[in-house]
Amino acid sequence: MEQIINPYILYGLCVLGAAGVCLALPRKGLSPQLFGGLLAGAVGGLAILFLGLKNPEHLPNIYFYIFSVVALGGALRVITHPRPVYAALYFVLTVIASAGLFLILSAEFMAFALVIVYAGAILITYLFVIMLATQSPQEDEVEVLMEYDIAAREPFASTVVGFLLLAVLTTMMFKGVGELPAPQVKDPDAILAAMPRRIESTLREEGLMPKGSTLKVDAQTGDAVVDWKHRTVTTIDGGGAPTVVSLPDDLKATNADHLGFNLLRDHPGTIEIAGVILLMAMLGAVVLSRKQVQIDEEAKMRQAHTLSGASFGPDSGTSKGGSL
């Protein structure tokens, strides 16, 4: 069995990383947040380095390290930053770095979709809601952070739970991954046959196909007839005489081609289902946000009672009568 990383090293790093994250979580008063963050970051870096030790010839390229450090650092800052707006901005950083990781995995379309949809749309909505739901300080008072943002709830227990999960997840690093079936290498350009018009227009642009001739296509499927071994196609001129033409080298199937065929030919239902989900979400959001909240007198009394009660500190910031 091929071990990619030694289990003892991995579990040791898990424990150290848990300590780092636990220290990095926000606490009331003086807290060693910076130290914890540095410790967690160093441990994450060590784990990635140890992964590469046994297979030095199969390292990912250098950009992987840059992007993953940025992504994980941003993610850690999302959960430790006491100000929600900054947390959201760090999340944008994480999204952009993971788009870089997608690029390394040659998923260009997904990388750009991620930046447009996540960083461009979803996170802006989050920022709007954060700004709507945070009371701005008056002219003369210093801005106070909300008490519920300053102190983490149960930092120790949740870190233990999280890193137990991490230990289970990473067990496959030295057990399962080595036994994965080897991937079959297919010719990635094979789907070009399903796009005879694209082949034709490329050939015409390159001047390989004279006027009046057509590409030979399969009569039943409409696909172009391509000999992939020699990368040749057959063109038929006006008189019906076939000519064998080799495909230009720069005619390649792109990531968007593959994704489009996979999405619309192999999984034709998904786009419709996605559309229905988005429509439902839009209707739901409209209905929910149009609802007027009427707080009657009794509820107001109860609320005032709760806010002044012992369950929350006097400094909780919740007793301010904000307006929205």
- Site residues for another protein, 194-253, by CB under 8 A, read none
Which residue is it, tokens 């993610």?
Answer: 75
Binding mask 176-195 for another protein (x = CB under 8 A): -xx-x-xxxxxxx-------
Residue whose CB is less far from another protein, 58 or 211: 58
Q: Residue 178 CB, nearest distance to another protein (Å)?
A: 6
Instruction: List the interface residues with another protein, window 70-99 (CB under 8 A).
Output: 71-72, 75-76, 78-79, 84, 87-88, 91, 94-95, 98
* 31/272 Cα distance (integer angstroms): 50
308 forms part of the interface with another protein (CB under 8 A): no
15-22: long-range contacts at Cβ-Cβ below 8 A with a sequence spacing of 24 or more? 15/163, 16/43, 17/43, 17/44, 17/47, 17/163, 17/166, 18/159, 18/160, 18/162, 18/163, 21/76, 21/159, 21/162, 21/163, 22/155, 22/156, 22/159
Decide: 97 and 67 in contact? Cβ < 8 Å: yes
**80 Cβ contact list (under 8 Å, min separation 6):** 24, 25, 26, 33, 37
Closest C-alpha among 195, 191, 190, 234 to residue 216: 234
**H or E element that contains 203:** helix 196-205
Least gap, CB of 169 to another protein (angstroms): 4
- Of 135, 143, 105, the closest CA to residue 255 belongs to 105
Restricting to residues 19-58, which ones interact with another protein according to CB under 8 A?
A: 21, 25, 44, 47-48, 51-52, 54-55, 58
Q: Does 305 bind another protein (CB under 8 A)?
A: no
Name the residue nearer to another protein (CB basis): 15 or 244.
15
**C-alpha separations of 318 from 131, 146, 321 in Å:** 16, 8, 8
What minimum distance in Å lies between the beta carbon of 202 and another protein? Answer: 19
Q: Which is nearer to another protein, 34 or 169 (CB)?
A: 169
User: Using CB under 8 A, which of the segments 201-209, 226-234, 236-244, 290-298 binds another protein?
Assistant: 290-298
- Among positions 262-281, residues that touch another protein (CB under 8 A) are 262-263, 266-267, 270, 274, 277-278, 280-281
Per CB under 8 A, the segment of 121-129, 193-201, 205-213, 238-246 that binds another protein is: 121-129
Q: Judged by CB, which is closer to another protein: 146, or 236?
A: 146
146 in contact with another protein (CB under 8 A): yes
Q: Which letter does DSSP use for residue 59 in this model?
A: P
